[in-house]
Amino acid sequence: MCRAWHVLGCTFLIIAVMVLSLGCGGPDLEPEEETQPEDITEAGNDVLVRDAPYGDPENLDPIVRGRMGAMAVTMNLFDGLVAHDPETAEVVPAIAHDWDISDDGLEYTFYLRDDATFHNGRAITADDFVYSLERLSDPENASPLGHYLDGVIGKAAFEEGEADHIAGLEVIDDHTLRIVREEPDSAFLSLLGFPAAGVVPREAVEELGTEFGHEPVGSGPFEFVSWAKDDRVELRAFDDYYRGEAGIDGVVFRVIAEASTKEAEFLAGNLDAFIAPASIYRKYRDHEDYADNLISVAEFFTRHVGFHCEKEPFDDVRVRQAFNYAIDTETIIDVVLGGKGVPAVGYLPSSSFAFDDTLEGYDYDPDRARELLADAGYEEGFEVPIMTSEHPEWGLPVVEAIMPYLNEVGIRLKPETMDTGVLYDRLRAGDYQTYIYSTGGDAHPVNYLWRFHSVLASTTNRYWSEELDDILNRARRTSDEDEMVELVREAEAKIIQDAPIYFFHYNKAITMHADRVQGMKPVPIDMALQDLWSVRLED
């Protein structure tokens, strides 16, 4: 019996040693910094505790991945030449306090502030931007967002390895940067406002290597404090921020996956703000105590059912239109989404400055749907599979809700559930007939509608229209904003008419916040991308 205990004892010792040694890191690491940074959540500090939208950010180097979960954090850590006004999505100055664009739309000259510094104290110059933008475009770094600088002179050569620098990035002096393009693009400036185009300190990147993504150093209103993976990210206000110090002392992003857990934490007072899903919106939209604590906006995400426009039966526009008429969108939004959705007219959301409120979409008209189907030769109806994820707002529950309506006119849906990764891959491979999805995420109307351009057709719905292509091309090339808006509206009208998708709804994004939180905004690009510098906590 003694031997048994010996065996047990030895084993526990071994296991303990193993666990401890693994806990201290593997062979690739420097000693874990167990140095406790100041606890920013201690009493006396104004710290905003919010949820980590889309979960753990995974990596905070802005060029490494293109996921929104990371952007929600990195946009507060990294500043760039320009930024987006949170509410209108228009381009506003950031580190470049002013800029000129030449008449032919090819030359952009940026005038930089002289009081912008990195979190490590060093002043920012035009050279830093050249370094950062080249880093983004460098094929060695394999950034999925490396296309931002497409069309800039010399970028292609740089990518091929023929040049050491991008010729089109010119440093005029320490605080003046010029970017020269080969052809105009009205959406280029907007791209420079995303975190991937943000400025990073060369010395920190070179020192940390891939660990830069886990200990980021930027120039934004907040600096990095700590990150417990899958648990929380902590940021602290940057004292020397050029716009002035942030309204709060720090932010904690808490990673919570379950909606009901978020709600419980909020009610318990542990969470100041979070992005609310439909189940929670439903409950609180008319609540006497909490109705005022909700901020809503029609986000730049259009939920839709996509049709494979090259395969029967959806190659016939009448069938596609019938699908749109057959569904009582408003009731579904009301019941299944608890009202958390703005019924879609076309593809461009109503919060865009280019939105045309005179356009008419598809009403609920099952008779018309049946007529159209009969015209197209599908009086008997047909059966068709639909790819879907399990998402509560644009997945299985919605599919189940629209099935009865479509049954009424003879369209029988067969759902195929899969996770979004697989759905997306099959989408690009063309291996589907219909699918339900949510796309968007860009503020510029031309960029937004670009998915219907034939250039992208093979990765979206295989819908081709020369007419639409022409309109969109012109919209992209013009530097006259009014003309661009006109053309965009024309394009929308055509898209609605050709119905390459079932226009479901624009996401009504909801932020629910505690009474003391002031300054959170309805951000149409994505409610997750809050500019936390302007938040204040009033007790």
Give the separation between CA 4 and CA 134, rounded to whole angstroms.
Answer: 63
Q: Smallest Cα–Cα separation from 133: which of 81, 60, 77, 87?
A: 81
HEC-encoded secondary structure of 364-379: CCHHHHHHHHHHCCCC
**Beta strand ranges found along 357-453 (DSSP E):** 382-388, 411-417, 434-440
Q: Give yes or no for residue 172 binding another protein (CB under 8 A).
A: no
Report helix, strand or coil for 12: helix
Minimum distance, C-beta of residue 353 to another protein, in the bound complex (Å): 20
Single out the residue of 64, 133, 342, 484 in contact with another protein (rule: CB under 8 A): 64
Give the separation between CA 189 and CA 81, rounded to whole angstroms.
Answer: 9
Single out the residue of 218, 277, 339, 500 in contact with another protein (rule: CB under 8 A): 277
| Closest CB to another protein among residues 253, 533 | 253
Q: Give yes or no for residue 435 binding another protein (CB under 8 A).
A: no
Single out the residue of 366, 381, 441, 519 in contact with another protein (rule: CB under 8 A): 441
Single out the residue of 40, 48, 61, 305 in contact with another protein (rule: CB under 8 A): 61
Q: Give yes or no for residue 518 binding another protein (CB under 8 A).
A: no
Stretch of 144-152, 199-207, 357-365, 490-498 lying at the interface with another protein (CB under 8 A): 144-152
Q: Give yes or no for residue 43 binding another protein (CB under 8 A).
A: no
Separation in Å, CA 333 to CA 245, 329, 344: 41, 6, 11
Report helix, strand or coil for 519: coil
Single out the residue of 84, 370, 451, 453 in contact with another protein (rule: CB under 8 A): 451
Stretch of 414-422, 473-481, 490-498, 511-519 lying at the interface with another protein (CB under 8 A): 414-422
Helices 366-375/396-409 angle, 10° precision:
70
Minimum distance, C-beta of residue 256 to another protein, in the bound complex (Å): 5
Minimum distance, C-beta of residue 466 to another protein, in the bound complex (Å): 21
Per-residue contact string for residues 460-489; x = within reach of another protein by CB under 8 A? x-----------------------------
* Residue corresponding to tokens 């050491």: 164
DSSP alpha helices (H): ranges in 120-201? Answer: 126-137, 155-160, 188-191
| Closest CB to another protein among residues 321, 507 | 507
Per-residue contact string for residues 74-103; x = within reach of another protein by CB under 8 A? ------------------------------
Give the separation between CA 393 and CA 308, rounded to whole angstroms.
Answer: 22
Q: Which of residues 318-357 bind another protein (CB under 8 A)?
A: 331-332, 335-336
Give the separation between CA 213 and CA 182, rounded to whole angstroms.
Answer: 32
Residues binding another protein: what is the number (CB under 8 A)?
A: 94
Q: Which of residues 351-410 bind another protein (CB under 8 A)?
A: 390, 392, 396-397, 399-401, 403-404
Q: Give yes or no for residue 503 binding another protein (CB under 8 A).
A: no
Q: Give yes or no for residue 1 binding another protein (CB under 8 A).
A: yes
Q: Give yes or no for residue 146 binding another protein (CB under 8 A).
A: yes
Q: Which of residues 196-235 bind another protein (CB under 8 A)?
A: 210-211, 213-214, 228-231
Read out DSSP for 254-321?
E----HHHHHHHHHTTS-SEEE--HHHHHHHTT-TTTGGGEEEEEEEEEEEEEE-TTSTTTTSHHHHH
Q: Smallest Cα–Cα separation from 301: which of 65, 28, 507?
A: 507
Minimum distance, C-beta of residue 67 to another protein, in the bound complex (Å): 5
Minimum distance, C-beta of residue 46 to another protein, in the bound complex (Å): 21
| Closest CB to another protein among residues 221, 250 | 250
Single out the residue of 45, 279, 454, 473 in contact with another protein (rule: CB under 8 A): 279
Q: Give yes or no for residue 41 binding another protein (CB under 8 A).
A: no
Buried b (16+ CB within 10 A) or exposed e, 176-212: bbbbbbeebbbbbbbbbbbbbbbbbbeebbeebeeeb
Minimum distance, C-beta of residue 53 to another protein, in the bound complex (Å): 11
Stretch of 140-148, 200-208, 217-225, 319-327 lying at the interface with another protein (CB under 8 A): 140-148
Read out DSSP for 445-486?
HHHHHGGGSHHHHTTTT----HHHHHHHHHHHH---HHHHHH
* Residue corresponding to tokens 């292609």: 156
Minimum distance, C-beta of residue 174 to another protein, in the bound complex (Å): 32
| Closest CB to another protein among residues 407, 497 | 407
| Closest CB to another protein among residues 228, 291 | 228
Q: Give yes or no for residue 171 binding another protein (CB under 8 A).
A: no
Stretch of 124-132, 243-251, 256-264, 467-475 lying at the interface with another protein (CB under 8 A): 256-264
